[in-house]
Amino acid sequence: MLNETPALAPDGQPYRLLTLRNSAGMVVTLMDWGATLLSARIPLSDGSVREALLGCASPEHYPEQTSFLGASIGRY
Q: Average pLDDT for residues 22-31, to the nearest whole number?
A: 93
Q: Quick one: pLDDT at residue 2?
A: 62
Contact present, 30 and 15 (Cβ < 8 Å):
no
Q: Quick one: pLDDT at residue 33?
A: 80
Indicate whether 26 pLDDT > 80: yes
pLDDT: is 28 or 13 the higher one?
28
Mean pLDDT, the chain, integer: 83
Q: Average pLDDT for residues 26-54, to the nearest whole number?
A: 92
Q: Average pLDDT for residues 36-60, to the nearest whole number?
A: 90
Residues 43, 52: Cα–Cα separation, whole Å: 10
